[in-house]
Structure 1
């Protein structure tokens, strides 16, 4: 188990959570705010959240029931003495955020050192996008529209290694562009859809030593400084160094490159400061942006992150970070065990392997002996109770 407690053991579960163990040794300590000790320590909280995502629970109520009725969960995931739904809810909505942020950042580094670096010839590519999260009307902070509440997650996603690297949370109307510079580090290339087009931001990123490949609107004004050769029979039909925008209004101070191409009768207009790439490579980089959409699909469907177990902004961020940590653990596990990217098929195999190990343990001679002893004690207790009556 992540934090071995009692008799039940699973090599597969240990292997799955092992990357977190060394990080916990220097993780900031979660302390009680009063004199009473915590009913649910941070380790217990993390254990429960990882279990919630691994087994795709539908709600916090289902998780609490599982922690009290499932032998594996009760023995190895739940805290000693169990945990009530109210205590769990209080912990999720008020505690553990600092520790989860620390573990997420450290696990991103660890995954980065383990997972293969694809597309290295294109540089370090970070897809940036936002995703709406359905909220309930009681989540007053999640402003979106009248009669509708939504939050928004803002993500950075490493295209090279297929893992999330950053997450920020706002209400559903939160602007996405301000997070670009925060997500990117010098030398990285942000890959973005046209909602991120901002000429001032393009200048700022270049000044900070950060690059971008961003789809732009077809009718964007441009002043051509130099036009590059393209073939008539090529899917790339335009390549030029330009200044974007209208002079004196919103024109870029620094030249950018615009590459235009057509795929399946659909035209794309992409701006970038990457003059070191060929036009075909620029088109390929933008195509790779789809990896973050695939991640969102997994995030929404497979990890059940949007089955809310928290209502506060704090609690939702706790749940999101736990989901991202689970995804990183799955990515590392699938790579080390199968040499593959994370898939729901492999995660289901992991759950089956854990179940089979536990069944084997329960059918071992020592386990059968323990069960027989328990049955004898219960039988004696019933006889004594019957004798008294």
Structure 2
């Protein structure tokens, strides 16, 4: 009986390597992930990062599904999983307790890479950041995720770069977490936060102006306005109101700094938008607020196509790890689509990417089979001849 022994060939995908290249460039700069105690890490940070990206890219629907793939799929076993594999309990311990600092570093720096690679779409309107929260369905065992009786939810507070179509900041609270406190944290000096009525806060409007941060925020129609100056409104325009005012009731909740309010009508609905942007026309202010909906489209697309909310973690720490993994995958998509096709992220390109990687893996396996057959023939040619 002939015993065959051939060198193990590695299954690779050049497209997957191109896809994750921006991450690999950042790895040497990442804060060190150290083991707790004397035991060596069962999964280093690069392996944890690869696993999170692979989970979202390949549409796994659970941690069990991912771990099974890393065990049975040659590519995942060789390129994603740590040597010798990893158990479900060890993987859960890692996701729920390690790597958050490193992932936040990766996300922040990958955003900078993407922002440099993607041109501004609405440059004349300035740096626009849409701000909103998105509820994440949790399981009842996630006690920290308070929402209401019999229902657990967490809330992601996200900043979305409108000009480049990419997420810029993320914070996580329980489902009842207030949204307004995160506005100042999400915005950088000179940026304009674009927000819905839930973010109306006269105190925050004053604070943002003091910090050198801007806002375009829809306000309630019946908000009290003390007019300081009326701006001319073009006849026949959908804009019917443009004034500099003090918002709120004097002596109670009135702004200390003047605010510009623009009123316009779309499809029979009156919108009133407060802003400190006096450099834009009223029409441009209306356009800026309309662009706020890009974050809604992002949340919908992100949840549907990258399976971001198929939970592989139960702790608040672990859920933030998973969310950052999903955001990093989206940023990689944005960089890949821009560099390869000069396009925005689309489901067409995502599906195409998955197909190309899959085809390369099949071709790689075919090449390995050919090499192994050739080695077998050369190595055992004399024995085969005798038989």
TM-score by length of 2: 0.93
| C-alpha contact (below 8 Å) 1:67/1:73 kept by paired residues | yes
**Aligned match of 1:272:** 275
Question: Which residue is equivalent to 2:134?
Answer: 131
Q: Determine helix, strand or coil for the equivalent of 2:140.
A: coil
Asked if 1:319 corresponds to 2:322, the answer is yes
Distance 1:270 1:20 in 2: 40
Is 1:369 matched up with 2:338? no
Q: Please say if residues 129 and 155 of structure 1, whose CA atoms lie closer than 8 Å, have aligned partners that are also in contact.
A: yes
- 1:383 aligned residue: none
Identify the match of residue 33 of structure 1 among 15, 36, 57.
36
SS at match of 2:152: strand
C-alpha contact 1:6 1:75 (8 A) present in aligned 2: no
Q: Distance in 2 between matches of 1:49 and 1:373?
A: 36
What do the CA deviations read for 1:163-183 (whole angstroms, capped 9, x no partner)?
Answer: 111100000000000011111
Work out which of the residue numbers 145, 148, 151 in structure 2 matches 1:145.
148
Residues 56 and 302 in structure 1, CA contact (< 8 A), matched pair in contact too: yes
Partner of residue 216 from structure 1, selected from 203, 215, 219: 219
Of 292, 296, 309, 1:293 maps to: 296
Partner of 1:387: none
1:6 CA drift (Å): 6.4
* 1:309 matches 2:338: no
Greater RCO between the two (CA within 8 Å, min separation 6)? Answer: 2
CA displacement at 1:362 relative to structure 2: 2.0
Instruction: Count matched residues.
Output: 372
Shift of residue 376 of structure 1? 12
Secondary structure of 1:237's aligned partner: strand
- Residue 335 in structure 1 maps to residue 315 in structure 2: no
Give the alignment's Cα RMSD to 1 decimal.
1.7
1:143–1:172: 8 Å Cα contact kept in structure 2? yes
1:171 aligns with 2:174: yes
Q: For residues 252 and 284 of structure 2, what CA distance do their matches in structure 1 show?
A: 31
- Equivalent pair of 1:54/1:303 in contact (CA under 8 Å): yes
TM-score (normalizing by structure 1): 0.93
1:66 aligns with 2:69: yes
Q: Which runs of 4+ in 1 moved over 6 A?
A: 372-377
Give the equivalent residue in structure 1 for 2:350: 347
Give the equivalent residue in structure 2 for 1:24. 27
Seen in structure 2, the aligned counterparts of structure 1 residues 7 and 251 have a Cα distance that, compared at 3 Å, is same
**Who is 1:86 aligned against?**
89
- Mapped pair 1:180 → 2:170: no
Residue by residue over 1:67-104, the C-alpha shift from the partner in whole angstroms, topping out at 9 and shown as x without a partner, is 11112111211111111111111100011101101111
Deviations 1:109-136 (A, max 9, x none): 1111111111110010011111100000
* Aligned counterparts of 2:274 and 2:31: Cα–Cα separation in 1: 42
- Post-superposition shift, 1:217? 0.1
